[in-house]
Amino acid sequence: QVQVVESGGGSVQAGGSLRLSCTVSGYTFTTNYWAWFRQAPGKEREGVASIVTSTSITYYADDVKGRFTISQDGAGNTMYLQMNSLKPEDAAMYYCAVRWVGSGGTWFDRAKYNHWGQGTQVTVSS
């Protein structure tokens, strides 16, 4: 059984930093998109960043480029999202998701992801 668990959310002031972690267990494919999505109240869930596990190729949403960094550990079962220069508009519930690259679609196509964590809250005060 696949388990996806996020951690590291919290409250920071604008300009601050947080690092989110995501641990995946029970997943057997080796070439996957690991991704972070976020959802603010009243808004759709949107892709933030993704990493291809076999190549470490990364993708970012335009509004987080240069501020957020996605990475994975050497063992391939933990993913991180380093968030710097946080803005109030970054506040949201952040979700980790994983899927096989071979299932097609783009990294930010949330309908393609079949394994999700429960989310971790990020609050940014101005």
* Tokens 């998701």, residue located: 97
Percent of the chain with pLDDT over 90: 81
CA atoms within 13 A on the CB side of 67: 16
Whether 30 shows a pLDDT value over 90: the answer reads no
Residue 27: per-residue pLDDT? 81
Name which of 31, 53, 45 is nearest 100 in CA terms: 31
Alpha helix ranges (H) inside 59-126:
none
Whether 65 shows a pLDDT value over 80: the answer reads yes
101 versus 117: which is more confidently predicted? 117
**What is the H or E stretch that residue 66 is in?**
none
Mean predicted lDDT score pLDDT of the chain: 94
* The residue type at 16: G
Residue 101: per-residue pLDDT? 85
* Rounded average pLDDT over 89-115: 92
| Strand duo 120-125 + 10-13: pairing | parallel
Confidence of residue 77 (pLDDT cuts 50, 70, 90): confident
26 versus 4: which is more confidently predicted? 4
Confidence of residue 19 (pLDDT cuts 50, 70, 90): very high
